[in-house]
Amino acid sequence: MENIFLAIVTDDKEYGRALSLAMLSICRSFIIKIFTAEAFFGQKCQADVILWDGEEAKLSYGGRIVYLAEKSSDTVKNLPGKRFCLYKYSTAACMVASVFEIYEALTGRRAVNLRRQDVRLFAFASPLGGAGCTTIAMAVGQELCRFQGKHILYLSFEEIESTGDFISYDLGIKGAGVYLYHLLKPDRIKWCGQDSQQKKLPFLDGYMVRDDYGMEAFAPVQGRNPLRELNTDELHRFISSLIDSGRYDVILMDLGNWLSKVSLSCLEMAERICLVASHRDSGIREEQYISHMVSYCGEDILGKFVKVFNLMPKGGVREDDAGEGMIDAYMDINRCGIVAKEGKTKKILLEGAFGDDISNLAKMMTEPE
């Protein structure tokens, strides 16, 4: 991605510093310099975008100068007139997304990421609800991000997302529904010549939340998960856009116990599939669940599976051996250690026996041989 030179003009040094650090924590493609109004007028500045926090620009802002307003009701986004006013206390993710949009409108250039060559797709599924599929997926993502330095995206396909149970976020961040709207609407395809077309992808920064280790996920939406509304063609466009963003080494797809054409397409795309079972008896249901996968995807899909028995009671013995004759790789995982953190948000503890088990599972997923 090319660097964007961003000037912040403010007489409040603490605000300027806080805004700069917050935006850099979201995106490292900015070169940011802070000016006082007097210093800015005293020298020539060739910044791509100028964020002006001061009454001097309230009536005359436009072009490269973006006025930072005290009230959210004063915001302006006039793309044809190239006139922009942003709420100065917006979240860093929203501010970064707005700056990218303004940068494109002003310069005609887009910030472009280089596509990673080997993005890996892992799926997590379960024949039963409540088996711990989300916890296992989150834990593997944190393991890869925290200890292996991977750039991880967690995708929830749950009907009602539980992403917010594990990752704290600010209200007002746009989620997957808005991203899909901008991705899939017809004018996102820009024709470049008679036989070629260029995909115009939305900037991901304005839609993402991050945990303490840097693992990213779409901000949770209120109500039904919009990813459940996709058809298979839209799913492929969605996943392709995430791969083309160049941001991620690994994409984790949490399918839960959902089994539809879209989830089956996710399983087909996945390099490895973690099948999460519990110590509860789920033999018949699991057999039917796996049989349906095989009938849709073919028997080769069985070679992708790693079966996990989660929520094993202390000193307990597994009651359910269903599927072992079909799936070669399987393991037991100790009872998950989760503690409340900052009210409703949960923290997964990757220490002790559970952490060791998650580390082994991550190795089985990433190094199948």
Check for a shared fold between 4-107 and 120-366: yes
One CATH from 3.40.50.2300, 2.40.37.10, 3.40.50.300, 3.30.499.10 for 120-366: 3.40.50.300
CA distance 2 to 293: 43
Angstrom distance (rounded) from CA 328 to CA 224: 36
Distance CA 55, CA 41 (A): 14
- Per-residue pLDDT band for 197 (boundaries 50, 70, 90) equals very low
| Between residues 138 and 60, the one the model is more confident about | 138
| pLDDT single digits (tens) 265-307 | 999 999 999 999 876 556 788 888 899 999 988 988 989 999 8
Predicted confidence (pLDDT) per residue in 2-53, tens digit: 678 999 999 999 999 999 998 887 777 789 999 998 888 877 778 889 999 9
N- to C-terminal Cα separation, the chain: 34
Please, are residues 245 and 113 in contact by the beta-carbon 8 Å criterion? yes
Q: What is the pLDDT of residues 144-155, one digit of tens each?
A: 999 999 999 999
A 10 A CB-CB count for 265 gives 19
State pLDDT tens for residues 91-130: 887 888 888 888 888 887 765 554 555 899 999 999 988 8
The pLDDT of residue 42: 78
CA distance 241 to 347: 30
Residues above pLDDT 90, as percent of the chain? 41
pLDDT in tens, 201-214: 777 877 888 998 99
pLDDT band for position 262 (50/70/90)? very high
Bridge partner list, 278: 310
Question: In the prediction, which pLDDT does 340 show?
Answer: 58
Look up tokens 């160049």; give the residue: 246
CATH code of domain 4-107? 3.40.50.10850
Task: Please give the structure tokens belonging to residue 327.
Answer: 């799936």
**Which contiguous run of DSSP H or E holds residue 278?**
strand 272-278
Buried b (16+ CB within 10 A) or exposed e, 138-172: bbbbbbbbbeeebbbbbbbbbeebbbbebbebeee
- What is the structure's pLDDT at 313? 47
Q: Cα dist. 112→41, 163, 169, 321 in Å?
A: 32, 28, 26, 49
Exposed/middle/buried for 50, CB within 10 Å: 0-12, 13-18, 19+?
Answer: buried
pLDDT computed for residue 341 by the predictor: 66
Per-domain residue ranges of the chain: 4-107, 120-366
Residue 53 region, left (φ>0) first, then alpha (ψ -120 to 50), else beta? beta
Task: Flag the least confident range among 26-35, 183-192, 262-271, 306-315.
Answer: 183-192
The arithmetic mean of pLDDT across residues 58-79, rounded, is 90
